[in-house]
Chains A and B, each alone.
Chain A
Amino acid sequence: MAAPEPEAPTTARSRAKDHSPWNWLLFIPILVPLIPAFFNDDSPALLGFPRFYWLQLAYILLGVATTTLVYQMTKKRGDR
């Protein structure tokens, strides 16, 4: 009983808007911060911060860099 999906050509074009291989990069900042083996240790310490703390704070940069890159690479250029 599902409604028939409209299959106009315009639909196909705008559907492609969200699809990009760059999007796969988003998995990096989702997975890396969730691996305790990377951060769960004291050394090396940085400015007095054990690795547990400075590395997890550094992951913020990883997240920002990735989302910024993906945004820049996938945003619409002009009136495409």
Chain B
Amino acid sequence: MWRDHLTEIIVFSLLFLLVSAMGFVAARWRAPKDMAHLDEWGLGGRSFGGWITWFLVGGDLYTAYTFVAVPALMFGAGAAGFFAVPYTIVIYPLVFLVLVRLWSVSHRHGFVTPADFVRKRFDSPVLALLIAITGIVATMPYIALQLVGIEAVLKTMGVTGESTVARHLPIIIAFAILAAYTYQSGLRAPALIAFVKDTLIYIVILVAVIWLPYKLGGWGDIFAAADAKFQASPSTNDGILLNANNQLQYITLAFGSALALFLYPHSITGVLASKNRDVIKRNMSALPAYSLLLGLIALLGYMAIAAGVKPLPGATAGTVDSNTVVPLLFDQQFPDWFAGVAYAAIGIGALVPAAIMSIAAANLFTRNIYKEYLKRDATPAQEANVSKITSLVVKVGAVACIVFLDPQFSIDLQLIGGVIILQTLPAVALGLYTRWFHRGALIAGWAAGMGLGMWMLYQIPHPNAALNRKHFGGSGFPLADFGFDTKKTIYVGIVAVLVNLLVAVILTLILRAAKVTEGVDGTARDDYFADEGDPRVTPGERRDADAAPEPVA
């Protein structure tokens, strides 16, 4: 079976080895004087300029899983899967002004994680702990899903086995290598590898969107084939256009996902690693290049329909693994060596975000659990060390999720992840603008949004009735369940975060009236505008020097 794919496997392995070598060399790239500091290992020295940030954040946000799952969604459901495009358009103007504030305050105070900021702003270790745990829980399944991306490729190349261990051996090896160079090089490794990953992806997709329509009879025929497939299917919720019932879901999912994206710890890690505010603002104009790429990748799902691709069987009998449609399309339409390049692009595409995510999760643990609760007087070197070890643990956990649990479990968790990370919005994003909210009210709002979000997700059955899965089947909640006379669905995250906000507002008013103590805001207004060159902006000697807010003369 795998012998038919020998060329692909060789090209894939060579490129994989190349980036692994780069990962180890990265420790010496833009080498710091002292790697034993969390700012160096976990944030690349906070020194990345425009280009590196573009590759790093692009490689971080647009993950291998996205590249595999979005076209799979288009293949299965049609227009609804295209939400990824408005999602990744709306995001940048939305956070354009917010991220620079986060950058400034984080550099003045040496924050590494969003929870660090919340801790100082609201003077509440409990709230910070909740934010940190939410971030870790939301990130873990995301890392595991990157493995699903690699697995789809390996499966198509016929690299499978009978026993559990044999089937997963390539992934275990890949992740062991990844873990080793992330341990050594920290954020510099994904930053350097991102250059290769993105170059490969851009080449593959440009070739695909020119070559495949030419082979398949043009774009008109591709859309016609997709239309014919959805017309013929019994489902009423698919089609190449949206229908009256899924439009609300489409835009709330796009908007809610946009709100959530920069709350994920790994996105914030990428942002904080940039060297000044201008780098961030310029990237808000440059990152949409990846959105165009994503839009074109989404359409690969329709090309797979036009090419008559039949997805490989899934884990359980009678199901199909629709994540394999894009790898199969490449296998079928491209010469072997180029399919190998395409697979490597997806495989390496999984490594970059997996590395950054594990670093972000490790930083959260180190800063907001280890330093806060276990060892208050940890030195920067100890912090860096704990983070390095935690990043290993996180990766072992992700591999274990894929090897020992049904991959569907990770997909469910990632769905939940988007909803729960959104519950940190009032404290993190609104907190950058206002200290009006009471810390107690933010905690209560978080709990309310969390509870409601989980309940709503639990109520949603999988659209494919044959699977017999009654819970966590999607993110579109039928408004009929709230008692509205309609078939429309809405994105769970939006509802949950609105309730979260409502609770936070009401409780703030109550707690304020009751004169419950609010704690001290450790940040000053001026902190939110500091830029590179400011004498108090880190990197400097005074990080974490718990300075009282003082006016700068």
Residues of A within 8 A of B (CB): 1-3, 5-8, 10-11, 14-15, 17-18, 23, 26-30, 33-36, 40-42, 45, 47-50, 52-53, 56-57, 59-60, 62-64, 66-68, 70-71, 75
Interface residue from B247, B295, B519 paired with A56 (Cβ < 8 Å): B295
Q: Mark B111-153, 1 if CB is under 8 A from A, else 0.
A: 0000000000000000000000000000000000000000000
Distance in Å: Cβ of A17 to nearest Cβ of chain B:
5
- Inter-subunit contact B550/A33 (CB<8 Å): no
B528, B548, B551 interface centre (most CB from chain A within 10 Å): B551
- Inter-subunit contact A1/B517 (CB<8 Å): yes
- CB-CB < 8 A to A27: which residues of B? 93
Complex CA gap A2/B523 in Å reads 11
- CB-CB < 8 A to A2: which residues of B? 435, 518, 520-521
B314 at the interface (CB under 8 A from A): no
- Inter-subunit contact B526/A40 (CB<8 Å): no
B465 at the interface (CB under 8 A from A): no
Complex CA gap A45/B94 in Å reads 29
- CB-CB < 8 A to B86: which residues of A? 33-34, 56, 59
B261 at the interface (CB under 8 A from A): no
- Inter-subunit contact A36/B526 (CB<8 Å): no
Distance in Å: Cβ of B367 to nearest Cβ of chain A:
22
A11, A14, A15, A62 interface centre (most CB from chain B within 10 Å): A14
Distance in Å: Cβ of A49 to nearest Cβ of chain B:
6
Q: Which of B451-504 contact A (CB under 8 A)?
A: none
Q: Which of B224-267 contact A (CB under 8 A)?
A: 240-242, 247, 250-251, 254-255
Distance in Å: Cβ of B99 to nearest Cβ of chain A:
12
B97, B517, B528 interface centre (most CB from chain A within 10 Å): B97
Known: A48-B222, A67-B96. A60 touches B89 (CB 8 A): yes
Complex CA gap A30/B98 in Å reads 14
Give the 3 A-B residue pairs with the shortest CB-CB distance, closest first: A48-B219, A48-B220, A8-B551
Complex CA gap A77/B255 in Å reads 34
- Inter-subunit contact B520/A63 (CB<8 Å): no
Q: Mark B92-110, 1 if CB is under 8 A from A, else 0.
A: 1110110011000000000
- Inter-subunit contact A8/B552 (CB<8 Å): yes
- Inter-subunit contact B295/A66 (CB<8 Å): no
Interface residue from B218, B285, B291, B518 paired with A48 (Cβ < 8 Å): B218
Distance in Å: Cβ of A5 to nearest Cβ of chain B:
6
Known: A42-B241, A45-B220. A36 touches B524 (CB 8 A): no
Distance in Å: Cβ of B478 to nearest Cβ of chain A:
18
- Inter-subunit contact A30/B529 (CB<8 Å): no
Complex CA gap A45/B224 in Å reads 12
Q: Which of B502-533 contact A (CB under 8 A)?
A: 517-522, 524-526, 528-529
- Inter-subunit contact B292/A33 (CB<8 Å): no
Distance in Å: Cβ of A10 to nearest Cβ of chain B:
6
- CB-CB < 8 A to B521: which residues of A? 2-3
| Number of B residues with CB within 8 Å of any CB on chain A | 56
- Inter-subunit contact B241/A60 (CB<8 Å): no
10 inter-chain pairs at a CB distance below 8 angstroms, sorted by A residue, are A2-B435, A2-B518, A5-B524, A8-B551, A14-B529, A18-B101, A18-B529, A29-B90, A49-B219, A52-B79
Interface residue from B220, B285, B525, B552 paired with A71 (Cβ < 8 Å): B285
Interface residue from B97, B247, B549 paired with A3 (Cβ < 8 Å): B549
Q: Secondary structure at chain B's binding surface: helix, strand, loop or mixed?
A: helix
- CB-CB < 8 A to A49: which residues of B? 219, 223
Complex CA gap A47/B241 in Å reads 17
A34, A45, A70 interface centre (most CB from chain B within 10 Å): A34
Q: Mark B267-301, 1 if CB is under 8 A from A, else 0.
A: 00000000000100110110010011001000100
- Inter-subunit contact A5/B255 (CB<8 Å): no
Complex CA gap A50/B552 in Å reads 56
- CB-CB < 8 A to B525: which residues of A? 5-6, 11, 15
Q: Mark B527-547, 1 if CB is under 8 A from A, else 0.
A: 011000000000000000000
- Inter-subunit contact A60/B292 (CB<8 Å): yes
- Inter-subunit contact A11/B242 (CB<8 Å): no
- Inter-subunit contact B97/A53 (CB<8 Å): no
- Inter-subunit contact A52/B241 (CB<8 Å): yes
Complex CA gap A56/B291 in Å reads 11
- Inter-subunit contact B240/A50 (CB<8 Å): yes
For the complex with contacts A34-B86, A52-B79, A60-B288, 20 further pairs of A-B residues with Cβ separation under 8 Å are: A2-B521, A5-B549, A6-B524, A8-B553, A10-B553, A11-B525, A18-B528, A29-B89, A29-B90, A29-B92, A34-B251, A36-B247, A36-B251, A40-B247, A41-B241, A47-B219, A56-B89, A60-B291, A60-B292, A71-B281
